[in-house]
């Protein structure tokens, strides 16, 4: 694997899920693989799970880890090509990347959507600079439109929790929130589920359809109750409007996932990428209930990262 920013970078999804599960069974099986090599973990945004799971995964592989909280620890970055840098920005992202090229064997970066310019976000204005200027493999720790290490962890978690012969029904359901949230997790989950042997349904209010470039021919239903019926897995996530970019059109009914809503499902497992706003996106009873596999997902972030780092190390 030469880079990891989307499901299209994975040659064989089933193989990498299998590898991740082998790593989970034996996380210290490749402690020499990364010896003498350095991974730079560059955070342009907050992180708990991604930060810690990536550090653990890298340590398990013997990699040196450089963690950089770019905004707080380094310099205010300029992103515009050709900018006359006579304002607040001190270092061009191009130059920061070229320096990281000198110091790292792998560059991993978190660069959320700015949620201001639809064009910038859709075009991955930051990640694209890493993809263009990096001379070493680039790994996304969540970008404007995707969160692939999360999605791989989601695939691992569904695989662990589904032993039946038939395809599970997987429902990605929109959840309420109090401010405009990016589309990355929703997009990415859709994109990865389309590669899995599942029946994917997306439920969201009118006005909240995700970018069709990601949902493709996935069935989108605007009635949550209908969508949840007979679900085997429910993935809860908020996102703002894509069409009217970052807007929050009025929503009819209450989309918060509750135990009552689980009743019509096939005793569905509940998933969420975290952090979650309790009693807004889903109720305490769901979060703390037996159907939740949310912390298992969080744990699988380690093995998702470790499988990817390991495959990237194979290529360098």
Q: According to the binding rule CB under 8 A, does residue 291 interact with its own copies?
A: no
DSSP3 helix / strand / coil % (the chain, rounded to 5): 35, 15, 45
The encoded tokens of residue 89 equal 């920005």
Instruction: Give the residue with the Cβ less far from its own copies, 60 or 215.
Output: 60
Instruction: Give the residue with the Cβ less far from its own copies, 8 or 72.
Output: 72
Q: How far is the CB of 264 from its own copies (least distance, A)?
A: 24
Q: According to the binding rule CB under 8 A, does residue 230 interact with its own copies?
A: no
Site string for its own copies, 145-174 (x = CB under 8 A): ------------------------------
Instruction: Give the residue with the Cβ less far from its own copies, 55 or 218.
Output: 55
Distance from C-alpha of 291 to C-alpha of 72, rounded to nearest angstrom? 39
Please give the C-alpha separations between residue 69 and each of 15, 111, 140, 288, 303, in angstroms, as whole numbers: 33, 11, 15, 32, 23
Q: Of these, 13, 18, 30, 64, which contacts its own copies (CB under 8 A)?
A: 64
Distance from C-alpha of 80 to C-alpha of 86, rounded to nearest angstrom? 13
The encoded tokens of residue 112 equal 């959320």
Q: According to the binding rule CB under 8 A, does residue 295 interact with its own copies?
A: yes
Distance from C-alpha of 193 to C-alpha of 159, rounded to nearest angstrom? 11
- Which among 7-15, 47-55, 136-144, 147-155 is the span making contact with its own copies, rule CB under 8 A? 47-55
234: which strand partners?
171, 270
Distance from C-alpha of 260 to C-alpha of 254, rounded to nearest angstrom? 12
Say if strands 219-221 and 91-92 run parallel, antiparallel, or are unpaired. Answer: unpaired
Q: How far is the CB of 104 from its own copies (least distance, A)?
A: 8
Q: Of these, 92, 183, 261, 269, which contacts its own copies (CB under 8 A)?
A: 92
Distance from C-alpha of 59 to C-alpha of 312, rounded to nearest angstrom? 15
Give φ, ψ of 85 to 5 degrees.
Answer: -85, 65
Look up residue 209 and give its DSSP letter. P
Q: How far is the CB of 81 from its own copies (least distance, A)?
A: 8
Q: According to the binding rule CB under 8 A, does residue 74 interact with its own copies?
A: yes
Q: How far is the CB of 9 from its own copies (least distance, A)?
A: 25
253 conformational bin, left if phi > 0, alpha if psi -120 to 50, beta if neither: left
User: What part of residues 204-223 is at the interface with its own copies (CB under 8 A)?
Assistant: none
Q: According to the binding rule CB under 8 A, does residue 316 interact with its own copies?
A: no
Binding positions for its own copies, rule: CB under 8 A: 28, 36, 38, 40, 43, 46-49, 51-53, 55-56, 59, 64, 66, 68-70, 72-75, 78, 82-87, 90-92, 95-96, 98-103, 178, 274-280, 284, 287, 295, 298-299, 302
């Amino acid at each position: 694997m030469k880079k990891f920013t989307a499901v299209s970078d994975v040659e064989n999804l089933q193989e990498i899920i299998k590898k991740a599960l082998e790593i989970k069974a034996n996380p210290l099986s490749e402690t020499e693989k990364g010896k003498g090599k350095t991974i730079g973990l560059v955070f342009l945004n907050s992180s708990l799970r991604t930060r810690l799971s990536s550090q653990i995964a890298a340590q398990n592989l013997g990699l040196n880890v450089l963690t950089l909280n770019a905004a707080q620890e380094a310099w205010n970055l300029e992103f515009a090509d050709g900018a006359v840098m006579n304002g607040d920005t001190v270092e061009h992202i191009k130059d920061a990347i070229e320096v990281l090229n000198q110091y790292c064997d792998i560059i991993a970066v978190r660069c959320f959507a700015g949620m201001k310019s639809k064009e910038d976000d859709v075009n991955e204005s930051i990640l694209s600079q890493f993809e263009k200027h990096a001379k070493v493999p680039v790994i996304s720790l969540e970008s404007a439109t995707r969160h692939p290490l999360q999605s791989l962890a989601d695939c691992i978690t569904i695989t662990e929790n589904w032993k039946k012969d038939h395809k599970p029904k997987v429902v990605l359901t929109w959840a309420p929130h109090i401010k405009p949230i990016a589309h990355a997790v929703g997009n990415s989950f859709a994109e990865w589920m389309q590669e899995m042997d599942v029946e994917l349904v997306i439920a969201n209010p009118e006005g909240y359809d995700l970018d069709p470039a990601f949902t493709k021919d996935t069935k989108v239903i605007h009635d949550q109750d209908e969508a949840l019926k007979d679900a085997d897995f429910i993935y809860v996530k908020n996102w703002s409007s894509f069409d009217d970019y970052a807007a929050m059109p009025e929503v009819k009914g209450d989309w918060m996932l509750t135990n009552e809503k689980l009743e019509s499902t096939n005793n569905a497992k509940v998933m969420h990428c975290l952090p979650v706003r309790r009693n807004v996106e889903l109720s305490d009873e769901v979060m703390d209930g037996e159907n939740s596999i949310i912390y298992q997902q969080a744990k699988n972030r380690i093995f998702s990262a470790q499988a990817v780092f390991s495959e990237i190390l194979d290529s360098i």
